Structure 1
Amino acid sequence: MKRLVERSEYLNFLKRHQDKPLIKVVSGVRRAGKSTLFQLFRDYLTETGVSDEAIISINFEDMAYDSLRDARSLYDYLIKKIAVKKKVYIFLDEIQHVENFERVVDSLFIKENVDLYITGSNAYFLSGEIATLLSGRYVELKMLPLSFSEFVEWKKQNEDDQPNAQYFNEYLKSSMPYTLFTETDQEALEYLQGVYSTVVLNDIVARLNVSDVRVLERLIETLFSSVGSLVTVNKIKNTLVSKGTSISNKTVEKYLQGILDSLILYEAKRYDVHGRELLDTQSKYYVVDSGLRRLILRDHHQDFGHVLENIVYLELLRRGNKVYVGKVDRYEVDFVAINAKQEVSYYQVALTTLDEAVLKRELRSLQAIKDSYPKYLLTLDEYNKEANFNGIKKMNVLDWLLSVDS
């Protein structure tokens, strides 16, 4: 029997904050593994001596709990459960389905015998007034689908050993955890179609009251095909209009925010390296899973360089960075990563730099940066894969993805 994927980094986050007076919030796109993470943590609690009676778990996507999608009903239900117990661990999965859920969460937070864990599948469930109400009372884990390292570890534990390049080819098909358990590419695509449809219909169309779903889908297709390219709202609108879709800048902005809130797409803003400030003009967008991009753009010519760039972007997020597109004079750096300690590192991503002209082009933006922060050139090259160009460290991207100390 194939085992669940051990999301050790995410699991350690929950372990670190266990029993601390904070609400543990796990956010992430649908089917990224949030519910499985909770299951793994509940298993851990049981193994460390917590009784089954002290663990309360509700998944609001289960129809069995439809009657608890009202704040008062949920609160009354939970209060009865915790009234006579000492320490109680409460897991509320996909809590965005509960109207005014923040009132329940805030009320449970002040109970001394409650350790509270919640998940949500969109960014707006902790936005605005809700975030203000809970400010200072929660820690958030932003969960992504499988890293390449997690993917390879699971494959080695459950299947025959293969070269890393072969694993990477499989990883490109999808990083969604459940696809590991599908038998064929067609089955995986059918699963991804279900995920995509649920995100679009439940997290974007329903929330924004979209009347013409096809216009929204054309916008998503345009964004997916523009991965790794600098775009503006006006440029996106003009692209859609040129293809016969009538849409305004205001509607593009509205739909774009809804797509970002659904967490199937991430925005990387531009950052002036010399001025140390964000720039308002142009952004790049990256898809949460390469499999979803393949699903939507089946007949599209894949720019593999941008696909690789997409994977590096997500990995930098996993490693706890804020990630921007760098501007250095007239050059562009693929990524400026800033960690929690405000330490900066720079990354340039290319399929190969064995051609001298390509190498020169990829190095020049990093060479234009005059500070002493780490600079990396990530490629798929096997030959001369660990070169050093006056402090710019070249690495094979698969080695980098599998490294634990990069």
Structure 2
Amino acid sequence: MIESHELKKRDRYLEQLIGFQDTEPVKVITGIRRCGKSSLLKLMVAHLKESGARPEQIVEMNFESHDSRKMTSDDVYEYVKERTVPGKRMYLFFDELQRIEVWEDAINAFRVDLDCDIYVTGSNAYLLSSEYSTYLSGRCVEIKMLPLSFREFLYFHDFEVRETQSALGGLRRQVFDKNGERYELREVFDAFMRFGGMPGIADVGLNQEKALTLLDGIYSTAVVRDILEREKRRGQRQITDPVLLRKIILFLADNIGSSISISSIGNTLMNEGLLEDGKRKGTPSAHTVQAYVNALVESYFFYEIKRFDIKGKEYLRTLGKYYIVDIGLRNYLLGFRNRDSGHAIENIVYFELLRRGYDVAIGKIDNTEVDFIATSADDKKYIQVTESMQSEDVRKRELAPLQKIRDNYEKIVLSLEPGLDASYDGIKSEGLVDWLLSE
């Protein structure tokens, strides 16, 4: 087990947790497996101890461990009850709690019977789905955790960005590793695009073979164990075919950032002969495909983004897009390749906007599209993402949809090669890597 002093900080999430410390709601940390939820609990425990909580006030249970495999919700209640210190506030930490049947009974009982502050993690949105929220409606706060951002990737891999003098007299950013080796920023960004942001990769280093082994493990637990096993536990029989599940995952991974309908997935798999393995005839029903896609979204493997009509000011029911939670997982699934790096960088921007607290939609204006409309309580941005703004044709294409928008919110084009102009008719042109490094 990693001791907490070795744990790398994830300040953005830890500050959110600390902000809710000692408040009534149950703190629920959600996100794909191995994105750092357990480490966040350990960081919170360390924070509590530093702030004066006694070790005996803290109860930690990890339901992935063998000891708790067969526990019931009553056993969990008894375990905690036996460890409660009379007259003291208790801090209860439950990791991967969804593995316990009717766990919500225990949580509710703690809330009624004890003076306690409760923290829970789960790798499945099912944890917060209708059945659960009826128990705890309004009494829980969700902290959505994602794999590492580019800034966190640099920190986890012991890279430091420094500004050095450039030959032209200006400053340029370069990256140094802990041995003082120097790299171009773009090289390190390419490593991020290749390996992705799963925190565990920092433990094995930027080594392709080891990274693939790690990603294979994450894929197997997230998909096989979480999705297929959980369906069994829920007594549902909709998602029983691992072959079909993998085909749908590969299809979605291959089509990130493209408009997709559920029927198009079934038809494509059918046309490519991917569903002909002897025993299966006919296209899977749209209902079946939808169930599989929902399960992948519930396990935080893919995220769905809806379209918004900018002029009509309404969400459209047609064709959403899907993005994969980690670009490294996509490379593991499809192999390393450069042919659609445009969609891969879009994927990175989408999750960075989520990290920064924005709600994100695709913008439709007339018959053109804006990659992202990012909205928060006090801010709104329109963002296009492209590999390069060097060629005039590309500039026209990327700027055209933004030029049609008649409001005064910020409009930005993010690209790996922004060219020399910092703006075009009030539309900002910014380097993607600089944007990822900015706060």
The one of 171, 177, 181 aligned to 2:192: 171
The one of 20, 24, 40 aligned to 1:17: 20
Contact 2:259 2:319 in 1 (8 A): yes
Equivalent position amino acid for 1:193 in 2: D
Residue by residue, what CA displacement relative to the aligned partner does 1:126-145 show, whole Å, maximum 9, x if unpaired? 10121122111111100000
Aligned counterpart, 1:78: 80
The one of 378, 385, 398 aligned to 1:349: 385
Residue by residue, what CA displacement relative to the aligned partner does 1:47-75 show, whole Å, maximum 9, x if unpaired? 1221111111011001122243x111111
User: What is the deviation of 1:256?
Assistant: 0.5
User: What is the deviation of 1:301?
Assistant: 5.9
In structure 2, distance between residues paired with 1:163 and 1:137: 48
Contact 1:174 1:289 in 2 (8 A): yes
User: What is the deviation of 1:171?
Assistant: 1.1
Contact 2:389 2:419 in 1 (8 A): no
Contact 1:54 1:85 in 2 (8 A): no
* TM-score with structure 2 setting the length: 0.88
The one of 59, 63, 74 aligned to 1:60: 63
Distance 1:394 1:402, change over 3 A: same
Give the gaps of 5 or more residues in structure 1. none
Distance 1:66 1:212, change over 3 A: closer
In structure 1, distance between residues paired with 2:257 and 2:242: 25
The structure with the larger Rg is: 2
In structure 2, distance between residues paired with 1:214 and 1:263: 20
1:289 aligns with 2:326: yes
- Superposed CA RMSD in Å reads 1.8
Distance 1:80 1:340, change over 3 A: farther
Contact 1:351 1:379 in 2 (8 A): yes
The one of 202, 209, 215 aligned to 1:192: 215
What are the residue-to-residue correspondences of 1:232-311 with 2, within 5 Å? 232-244=261-273, 245=275, 246-298=283-335, 302-311=339-348
* TM-score with structure 1 setting the length: 0.95
In structure 1, distance between residues paired with 2:113 and 2:22: 12
User: What is the deviation of 1:243?
Assistant: 1.3
The one of 123, 133, 136 aligned to 1:134: 136
The one of 246, 249, 254 aligned to 1:220: 249
Aligned counterpart, 2:427: 392
1:375 aligns with 2:411: yes
Aligned counterpart, 2:374: 337
User: What is the deviation of 1:273?
Assistant: 1.1
Contact 2:370 2:401 in 1 (8 A): yes
Equivalent position amino acid for 1:345 in 2: K
In structure 1, distance between residues paired with 2:296 and 2:66: 26
User: What is the deviation of 1:104?
Assistant: 1.4
State the secondary structure of the residue aligned to 1:202.
helix
State the secondary structure of the residue aligned to 1:216.
helix
Residue by residue, what CA displacement relative to the aligned partner does 1:61-98 show, whole Å, maximum 9, x if unpaired? 01122243x11111122122225250111100000001
Give the gaps of 5 or more residues in structure 2. 161-176, 232-236, 276-282
Equivalent position amino acid for 1:135 in 2: S
Contact 1:325 1:334 in 2 (8 A): yes
State the secondary structure of the residue aligned to 1:109.
helix
In structure 2, distance between residues paired with 1:116 and 1:299: 42
In structure 2, distance between residues paired with 1:327 and 1:24: 36
Aligned counterpart, 1:6: 9
Equivalent position amino acid for 1:219 in 2: I
In structure 2, distance between residues paired with 1:376 and 1:109: 47
In structure 1, distance between residues paired with 2:23 and 2:306: 34
* 387-396 or 190-199: bigger deviation: 387-396
Distance 1:189 1:308, change over 3 A: same
In structure 2, distance between residues paired with 1:152 and 1:168: 9
Contact 1:322 1:337 in 2 (8 A): yes
Aligned counterpart, 2:260: 231
Say how many residue pairs are matched: 401
In structure 1, distance between residues paired with 2:125 and 2:438: 29
Aligned counterpart, 2:112: 110
Aligned counterpart, 2:349: 312
In structure 2, distance between residues paired with 1:86 and 1:42: 16
Aligned counterpart, 1:92: 94
* 315-324 or 373-382: bigger deviation: 373-382
Equivalent position amino acid for 2:201 in 1: T
Equivalent position amino acid for 1:176 in 2: M
The one of 151, 154, 160 aligned to 2:153: 151
The one of 23, 29, 33 aligned to 1:30: 33
The one of 215, 218, 226 aligned to 1:203: 226
Contact 1:22 1:109 in 2 (8 A): no
User: What is the deviation of 1:396?
Assistant: 0.6
In structure 2, distance between residues paired with 1:258 and 1:218: 14
User: What is the deviation of 1:163?
Assistant: 2.9
